[in-house]
Amino acid sequence: MNDNTAIRVENLSKSFGDGDSFIEVIKDASFTINRGELVALIAPSGGGKTTLLMMIGCVEEPVSGQIWIGNEKVFDNKWLTKETRKIRREKIGFIFQAHYLIPFLNIINNLLLLPQANKTDKKTAKAKARELLKYFDIADKEKAMPSQLSGGQNQRVAIARALINDPRIILADEPTAALDMQRSVDVVKILKKIALEQEVAIVMVTHDERMLPYCDRIMKIEDKAIIFK
Ligand SMILES: Nc1ncnc2c1ncn2[C@@H]1O[C@H](COP(=O)(O)OP(=O)(O)OP(=O)(O)O)[C@@H](O)[C@H]1O
Ligand SMILES: [Mg+2]
- 3-state class percentages of the chain: helix first, strand second, coil last, to nearest 5: 40, 30, 35
61 CA to centre of own chain: 17
Question: Which of 56-60, 61-65, 159-163 is predicted least confidently?
Answer: 159-163
> Residue 174 domain-assigned?
yes
51 lines ligand 1 (CB under 6 A): yes
Structure-model confidence comparison of residues 175 and 1, the more confident one: 175
In angstroms, how far apart are the furthest CA atoms of the chain? 55
Radius of gyration of the chain (CA): 18
Nearest CA residue ID for atom 7, ligand 1: 16
Model pLDDT for residues 143-180, shown as the tens digit of each residue: 999 999 998 899 899 999 998 988 999 999 998 887 88
Q: Is residue 13 within a helix (H) or strand (E), and if so which, with residue range?
A: strand 5-16
Determine the pLDDT at residue 23. Answer: 96
Give the distance (Å) from ligand 2 centre to CA of residue 119. Answer: 31
Averaged confidence pLDDT in the chain = 93
Greatest mean pLDDT among 118-127, 128-137, 217-226: 217-226
Model pLDDT for residues 176-218, shown as the tens digit of each residue: 887 888 888 988 999 999 999 999 999 999 999 999 999 999 9
pLDDT at residue 1 greater than cutoff 90: no
Protein residues near ligand 2, an ion, with CB under 5 A: 49-50
> Residue 10 domain-assigned?
yes
Average pLDDT over residues 3-16: 96
- 137 is in which domain, residue-wise? 5-14+24-77+84-228
> Residue 215 domain-assigned?
yes
| Helix/strand/coil for 224 | coil
**CATH code, domain carrying 199:** 3.40.50.300
Average pLDDT over residues 108-127: 92
> Residue 19 domain-assigned?
no
**C-alpha dist (Å) from residue 141 to 5, 27, 54, 161, 165:** 36, 45, 31, 14, 20
> Residue 143 domain-assigned?
yes
Please state the domain count of the chain.
1
Determine the pLDDT at residue 100. Answer: 86
> Residue 202 domain-assigned?
yes
Give the distance (Å) from ligand 2 centre to CA of residue 50. Answer: 4
Determine the pLDDT at residue 96. Answer: 86
> Residue 144 domain-assigned?
yes
41 lines ligand 1 (CB under 6 A): no
Give the distance (Å) from ligand 1 centre to CA of residue 82. Answer: 25
What pTM was computed for the model? Answer: 0.92
